[in-house]
Amino acid sequence: MTETVQFPVAKINSKTFKKFGTTRVDDYFWLNDRNNPEVIDYLNQENKYYQESTAHTQKMQESLFEEMKARIKEDDSSVPYFYNGYFYITRFETGKGYPIYARKKGSLEAQEEILFDCNKMAEGHAYFKLGGLSVSENNELITFATDIVGRRIYTIQIKNLQTNEILPEKIENATGSSVWANDNATIFYTKQDAVTLRSDKVYKHTLNSPIEDDVLVFNETDDTFNVSVSKEKSRKYIVIGSGSTLTNEYRILDADKPNEEFKIFQKRVRGLEYSISHYGNEFYILTNKDKATNFKLMKTSENATEKKHWKEVVMHREDVLLEDVEIFKNFLVLEERSNGLNRIRIKSWDNTSDYYLPFGSETYSAFTTTNLDFDTDVLRYSYQSLATPSSVIDFDMKTKTKTVLKEQQVLGGTFDKENYIEERVWATAEDGTKIPISMIYRKGLNKNGNNPLLLYAYGSYGVTMDAYFSSTRLSLLDRGFVYAIAHVRGGEDLGRSWYEDGKLLKKKNTFSDFIACSKYVIEQKYTSASHLYAEGGSAGGLLMGVIVNWAPELYNGVIAQVPFVDVMTTMLDDTIPLTTGEYDEWGNPNKREYFEYMLSYSPYDNVTKQNYPNMYVSTGLHDSQVQYWEPAKWVAKLRQNKTTDKLLFLDTNMDAGHGGASGRFEALKELAKEFSFLLDLEKIKM
């Protein structure tokens, strides 16, 4: 397949950068100005080129959209959760793209009280997002936050749930997060830096007072840290969290005394990571203290919180990553990861029981969900696998009995999980490390190298890519695709060391791991280079950018979603959102060692004259995490350098940010674009 429509050519307007004796020439730096009409014109030209070049797939996209939509239960609702006397429910109505938030007092049989109908709130907006819901202790007021651009800049407002009126107070340019003190009159909220969008300040607002009178209670001056504000599950403390990639610091305040000063829990020590959970008269601390790489659990009195007072509860283990804890009145629940798989451990405070929930598959994901009720013996968790739809389960920790509250419905009448094979296989990396791959395909697959295979990975920030179910993915599986997740280093899939071995000066392990996984699925004849496709977004888009530079011959096509590809320009500009907070992940390029290492793999800087695979690149004009100009510049440079007429598309959503479209059906349309790109390359007809 070749390009028949003339592609746009971005003008060259070179800008030269010099650092550490290295000269970088950026021909497309001018694209870094969303207010320049020429930039908007170029993006529109690229969109037009994409649309004209794929006009023949329009019916396929529409069919895929309808097919994926038809599997979704449109009049769906969440499993209700109980909090402070009310059951809270999120539900969707047929034909509507946004959720409705509601609650019922005391019983599920009670009359429904609609808190927010996002379908009405979204009217007239190309993008709409509701967030930051927080209910006052007396259940009469609720804070909420809205973003109508997609840049994650929210406006916080307060609704009176007795009268349904929106109070006049409007807190602009906030992160959206807020919590109530126990007096039902004070809220604490976070704001971000206007330029970098770094969450850096916590304010206190008193009901019915002018916003300009709000009190600044904490200002994070270290630009590598971000702040948050939350309330403990026990509801006794308001907590300000301040954290960077490697270091945490918390401040606590009695929620009954909002006008007193926050007290530092344990001051920051570089490399000391910890998080806190309150129970009784003590705090439980999940921490890497004393070189506990995979974390351990400690506790301390609420009156003596410095680390010298911390006592060990669950010791550090070399082969088990302790990811999180959930505290109940009678039980402690530990979320662990061993050999790349989730485990949920339940331990009674009186030490009469200590056991793991049993899971049978090797390609599953299990994690605790909404457990806001402290005084209960019921744990709520979710379970799914590549072939098993997501279930929400209530587990009685005393009787050890479980109740499946809801299993995701796959409508259409054709889905049967017995039609699919799930596997976990292991590829060997360049340095001999075994890299797990989770995969799924339809039964009867012939390993002859002719099967299309989509290989996905992320591989940064210690984010674990667990095997999860997707009803939309069936549109590929049922047309002969194999779907696989490469659990590359840079995530935390096999413990903390897995993350440490894929960041900073070991970042290249992420890229070479993915290439090793690609070679493995080819060698094992799951697929071949003519039918192998790669996909990644954001930092996973960086991964896509590197592999097409390093090993373009392995892939027939690549999907790069909001890709972080201009590493040097972004990381050298501390006015860009997220940059300074990223130094502990990628390195600080103002130091020569990191500058040279990052430059050696930065996708944009390493584009060369070669045969690049077919590529579909997507971005959002208002993206606050990966600026739109990164993929725009990258595509312009790829156009200048690619040596064949293989497809290269830049698709910019002019109304959205990092997360793409906001409505649930609009998101399916974006997915239909990606799937049609793959199916068209495979010449698979609908």
CA pair distance 462, 500, nearest whole angstrom: 8
Structure tokens at 551: 């090993």
> What's the Cα-to-Cα distance from 344 to each of 314, 332, 358, 380, 582, rounded to whole Å?
14, 11, 9, 11, 31
Q: What is the pLDDT of residue 194?
A: 80
- Kindly name the residue from 501, 624, 658, 680 that is annotated as catalytic: 658
Beta strands in 221-270 (DSSP E): 226-231, 237-243, 248-254, 263-266
d(CA 331, CA 346): 7
Q: Can 316 be counted among the known catalytic residues?
A: no
Share above pLDDT 90 across residues of the chain, in percent, rounded to a whole number:
84
Tell me the per-residue pLDDT of 557-581, one tens digit each, with 9 for 90 and over. 999 999 999 999 989 987 776 677 7
> What is the structure's pLDDT at 578?
63
Could you tell me the two tokens for 325?
């804890």
- Say whether pLDDT at 418 is over 60: yes
Residue 31 has pLDDT above 70, yes or no: yes
| Long-range CB contacts (within 8 A, 24+) of 91-96 | 92/664, 93/119
**Average pLDDT rounded to a whole number, residues 424-429:** 97
> Residue 445 pLDDT more than 90?
yes
Amino acid 2: pLDDT = 43
> What is the rounded average pLDDT of the residues 404-424?
93
What pLDDT, on the 0 to 100 scale, is given for residue 230?
Answer: 96
- Look at residue 662 in the predicted model and tell me its pLDDT: 53
What would the pLDDT profile of 133-151 be if each residue is shown by its tens digit?
999 999 999 999 999 887 7
DSSP 602-670: -TGGG--SB-PPEEEEEEETT-SSS-THHHHHHHHHHHHHB-S---EEEEEETT-BTTB-SSHHHHHHH
pLDDT value at 671 more than 50:
yes
pLDDT of residue 245: 84
Mean pLDDT of 354-373: 88
Percent of the chain with pLDDT over 70: 97
Catalytic residue among 53, 136, 438, 538: 538
H helix intervals, 362-422: none
- The 10s digit of each residue's pLDDT in 219-237 is 999 988 999 999 999 999 9
Read off the pLDDT of residues 488-532 as tens digits, 9 standing for 90 and up. Answer: 999 999 999 999 999 999 999 999 999 999 999 999 999 999 999
Give tens-digit pLDDT for 98-128: 999 999 999 999 999 999 999 999 999 988 9
Give, in order, the Cα–Cα distances in Å from 229 to each of 115, 164, 209, 328, 333: 23, 26, 21, 22, 23
Please list the residues that pair with 253 across neighbouring strands.
238
Residue with the two structure tokens 């479209």: 661
Q: Which of 586, 588, 611 is CA-nearest to residue 601?
A: 586
Band of residue 75 on the pLDDT scale cut at 50, 70, 90:
confident
pLDDT at 3 over 50: no
Residue-wise pLDDT for 258-275, tens only, equals 999 999 999 999 999 999
What's the whole-model pTM score? 0.84
- Candidates 623, 651, 662, 680; catalytic one: 623
Cβ atoms of 378 and 396 within 8 Å: the answer is: yes
Q: Are 180 and 143 in contact (CB under 8 A)?
A: yes
Instruction: Answer whether residue 209 shows pLDDT above 70.
Output: yes
Q: Render pLDDT for 582-635 as a digit per residue (tens, 0 to 9).
A: 888 999 999 999 999 999 999 999 999 999 999 999 998 876 567 899 999 999
Q: How far apart are CA 635 and CA 126, in angstroms?
A: 26
- The predicted structure's pLDDT at residue 577: 62
Helix, strand, coil percentages for the chain (3-state, nearest 5): 20, 35, 45
531 is catalytic: no
Q: What is the mean pLDDT of the chain?
A: 93
Amino acid at 264: I
* Mean pLDDT, range 247-253, rounded to an integer: 97
* Count of beta carbons in the 10 Å neighbourhood of residue 524: 13
Runs of H (alpha helix) within 71-182? 118-121
Residue 538 falls in the annotated catalytic set: yes
Residue pair 310/298 in contact (Cβ under 8 Å)? The answer is yes
Between strands 391-396 and 321-327, the pairing is unpaired
In whole angstroms, give the CA distance from residue 576 to residue 548: 26
